[in-house]
């Protein structure tokens, strides 16, 4: 009996041992704890009854948290609340701050708090930043600034959060006269820009349902609302377009300063400007079809952009010449024909053409008046284009950024149009060499062009020819200062240009962001006059 009991126990033990061997070991997954939160702005200004965005990043790889529950402001307040958090990818997020509707001004130093892991009691805090909410006077929804007002109302009040996806909307304009006003025009709106889209004051692209003249500008469907967020003067783009219009460039965008009201919220001072497009009223070159693949038909028209952001759908690097941002060559992109319409034969043609132009320019006989670069380039346009960038101290001709060229059917390559003159324009923070010398002498192809005495003489003579007109620009700045003064007053209650430092390694970009509007305009005029003086001496 004892022997049976022992045998039974052994069997049970063996069964238990077998069961243990079959059991799959449990893997313990540890959720990483958040280590730090970094906010990219020093000041966030929430518009009256509106929203503003604060970008932040976390430093833990694969960190996961509830975007609705795990982010908050400290100290908490119902004057300004977080109503949304969006993931941007690679550990970057955007928190949307909204006016809590309590009817009071608010200005406090706060921190952004994120739970160290989903559901945890403890938070990890960012450094302090300032949140401001300054209300307009009671009963005043939109201030009277002396500018036309653009009203955009999106379908069901939808937010504009994408540069790719359009939102259905209607557009109305209260102009300074009945002729300028518009009522309930059907349109679509989306975001736009590279760096500028990441800033709290957003730029927008408008696509009208039908071509229309807007505020006296020629008819078209597509229009841009530039935010001019980092520009304390609000006039850098307008002044630059004015200078460009004094030259012989084929087309320069028209523009008008406006107030923007989006879904009932005043967004401040904007610049309504024509988008760079191929059209009889804009870049007036031959419009191509998919059948234009041989002979003279394949030679144009093309609209090209050189841009170090390298964000065009069709793009390549030409290895002739150098630029600051791309050591291995110059980035070219095709803006027209559109990527879905551009054929393989057309792309091959324009790439080969650019290669032939650049190869000739950097070849041994580049100065030859018949078979050198003059065979391919519209020299007068390249002269005028350089003068505009140099006068305005825009170093992005050398980066290059937003540098356009176009080629019509059977024609040469033409420089222009001018675009995007807010970053570093007439600022010696971005171009310190501009205080004593030329800024774009070695920009992309120009370094080689200036090796030809004939080209250098053309630039010198053309500048002297344009100088009397260029000397009127300070008076134009004075007129703009009066026109924009009221708009600037309200705009800078909502937006702080010095926040551009968050996108520039902690350093402000133009150097006037912490000045008053009047001080900034004064500095702009001084810098402009310095540019004219230096160019007169060195050309």
Kindly state the greatest CA–CA separation across the chain. 124
* Structure tokens given for 71: 């982010």
Q: Which tens digit of pLDDT belongs to each residue from 202-244?
A: 999 999 999 999 999 999 999 999 999 999 999 999 999 999 9
Q: What is the DSSP string of 129-178?
A: EEEEE-PPPTT-SS---SSEEEEEEEGGG-----SSS-EEEEEEEE-SSG
Distance CA 393, CA 527 (A): 9
Give the CA count within 13 Å in the CB-facing half-sphere of 89.
Answer: 0
Long-range contacts of 235-238 (CB under 8 A, 24+ apart): 235/477, 235/480, 235/481, 235/484, 235/521, 235/524, 236/392, 236/421, 236/422, 236/425, 236/426, 236/510, 236/524, 237/271, 237/273, 237/420, 237/421, 237/422, 238/271, 238/480
Q: What pLDDT sits at residue 32?
A: 65
Structure tokens at 262: 């989006």
What is the Cα 242 distance to its own chain's centre?
21
User: What CATH number does the domain containing 43 carry?
Assistant: 2.60.40
Determine, yes or no, domain membership for 342: yes
Residue 437: inside a domain = yes
Q: How far apart are CA 356 and CA 458, in angstroms?
A: 23
pLDDT in the model for residue 12 = 47
Specify if 331 maps to a domain.
yes
Domain of residue 333, residue span: 295-455
Q: How confident is the model at residue 41 (pLDDT cuts 50, 70, 90)?
A: confident
In this predicted model, what pLDDT tens digit does every residue of 425-484 receive, in sequence order?
999 887 888 888 999 999 999 999 999 999 999 999 999 999 999 999 999 999 999 999
Residue 419 lies in a domain: yes
6 is a domain residue? no
Residue 401 has which token pair? 């950024």
The verdict on residue 386 lying in a domain is yes
Residue 87 and residue 250: Cα distance in Å, rounded? 43
| pLDDT over 50 at 21, yes or no | no
The residue from 416, 435, 455 where one domain ends is: 455
Locate 139 and state its tokens. 């009963």
Q: Which candidate, 510, 484, 498, places its Cα nearest to that of 395?
A: 510
CB 441 within 8 A of CB 447: yes
Residues 484 and 481: their CA atoms lie apart, in Å, by: 5
**Structure confidence at residue 430 (pLDDT):** 78
Q: Which H or E element spans position 318?
A: strand 315-318
43-58 average pLDDT score: 77
Residue 368 per-residue DSSP state: -
22 has a pLDDT exceeding 50: no
Q: How confident is the model at residue 106 (pLDDT cuts 50, 70, 90)?
A: confident
**In-domain check, residue 371:** yes
Tens digit of each residue's pLDDT (9 = 90 or more) over 364-418 = 999 999 999 999 999 999 999 999 999 999 999 988 999 999 999 999 999 999 9
**Angle, vertex CA 493, rays to CA 489 and CA 497, nearest 5:** 95
The last residue of a domain, from among 104, 133, 162: 133
pLDDT of residue 445: 94
Q: Is residue 333 part of a domain?
A: yes
Higher pLDDT: 246 or 91? It is 246
Q: How is residue 240 annotated by DSSP?
A: H
**pLDDT tens-digit readout, 115-172:** 887 778 888 889 888 887 765 544 345 788 999 999 999 998 888 999 999 999 999 9
Out of 13-17, 254-258, 476-480, pick the least confident: 13-17
Domain total in the chain: 2
Q: Which of 112, 133, 154 corresponds to the end of one domain?
A: 133
Is the predicted pLDDT of residue 4 greater than 50, yes or no?
Answer: no
Nearest to 386 by CA among 450, 465, 333: 450
Reported confidence tier of residue 20, pLDDT bands at 50, 70, 90? very low
pLDDT score for 139: 39
Beta-carbon contacts of residue 290 (< 8 Å; ≥ 6 apart): 341, 343
The pLDDT value recorded for residue 208 is 98
């Amino acid at each position: 009996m004892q022997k049976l009991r022992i045998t039974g126990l052994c069997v049970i033990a063996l069964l238990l041992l077998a069961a243990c061997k079959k059991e799959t070991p449990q893997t313990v997954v540890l959720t990483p704890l958040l280590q730090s939160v970094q906010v990219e702005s020093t000041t966030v200004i929430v518009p009256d009854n509106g929203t503003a965005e604060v970008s932040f990043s976390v430093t833990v790889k694969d960190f996961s948290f509830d975007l609705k529950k795990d982010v908050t402001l400290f100290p908490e307040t119902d004057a300004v609340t977080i109503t949304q958090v969006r993931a941007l990818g690679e550990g970057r997020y955007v928190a949307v701050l909204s006016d809590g509707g309590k009817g009071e001004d608010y200005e406090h130093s706060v921190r952004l708090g994120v739970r160290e892991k989903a559901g945890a009691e403890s938070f990890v805090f960012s450094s302090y930043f300032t949140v401001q909410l300054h209300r307009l006077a009671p009963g005043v929804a939109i201030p009277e600034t002396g500018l036309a007002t653009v009203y955009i109302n999106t379908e069901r009040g939808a937010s504009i959060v994408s540069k790719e996806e359009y939102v259905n909307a209607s557009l109305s304009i209260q102009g300074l006269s009945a002729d300028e006003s518009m009522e309930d025009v059907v349109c679509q709106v989306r975001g736009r820009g590279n760096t500028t889209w990441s800033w709290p004051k957003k730029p927008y692209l408008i696509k009208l349902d039908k071509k229309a003249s807007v505020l006296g500008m020629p008819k078209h469907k597509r229009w841009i609302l530039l935010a001019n967020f980092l520009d304390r003067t609000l006039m850098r783009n307008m002044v630059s377009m004015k200078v460009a219009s004094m030259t012989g460039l084929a087309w320069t965008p028209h523009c008008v300063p406006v107030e923007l009201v989006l879904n009932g919220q005043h967004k401040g001072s904007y610049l309504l400007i024509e988008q760079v497009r191929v059209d009889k009223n804009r870049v007036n070159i031959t419009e191509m079809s998919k059948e234009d693949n041989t002979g003279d038909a394949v030679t144009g028209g093309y609209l090209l952009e050189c841009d170090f952001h390298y964000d065009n759908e069709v793009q390549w690097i030409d290895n002739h010449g150098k630029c600051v941002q791309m050591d291995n060559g110059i980035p070219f992109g095709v803006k027209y024909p559109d990527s879905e319409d551009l054929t393989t034969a057309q792309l091959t043609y324009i790439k080969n053409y650019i290669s032939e132009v650049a190869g000739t320019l950097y070849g041994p006989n580049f100065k030859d008046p018949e078979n050198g670069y003059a065979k391919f380039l519209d020299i007068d346009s390249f002269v005028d284009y350089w003068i505009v960038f140099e006068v305005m101290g825009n170093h992005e001709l050398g980066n290059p950024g937003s540098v356009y060229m176009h080629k019509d059917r059977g024609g040469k390559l033409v420089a222009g149009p001018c675009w995007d003159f807010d970053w570093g324009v007439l600022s010696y923070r971005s171009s310190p060499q501009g205080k004593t010398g030329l800024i774009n002498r070695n920009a992309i192809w120009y370094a080689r062009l200036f090796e030809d005495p004939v080209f250098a003489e053309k630039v010198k003579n053309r500048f002297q020819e344009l100088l009397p007109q260029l000397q009127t620009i300070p008076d134009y700045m004075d007129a703009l200062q009066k026109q924009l003064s009221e708009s600037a007053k309200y705009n800078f209650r909502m937006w702080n240009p010095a926040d551009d430092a968050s996108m520039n390694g902690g350093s402000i970009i133009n150097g006037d962001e912490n000045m008053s509007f009047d001080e900034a305009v004064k500095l702009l005029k001084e810098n402009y006059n310095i540019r004219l003086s230096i160019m007169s001496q060195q050309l």
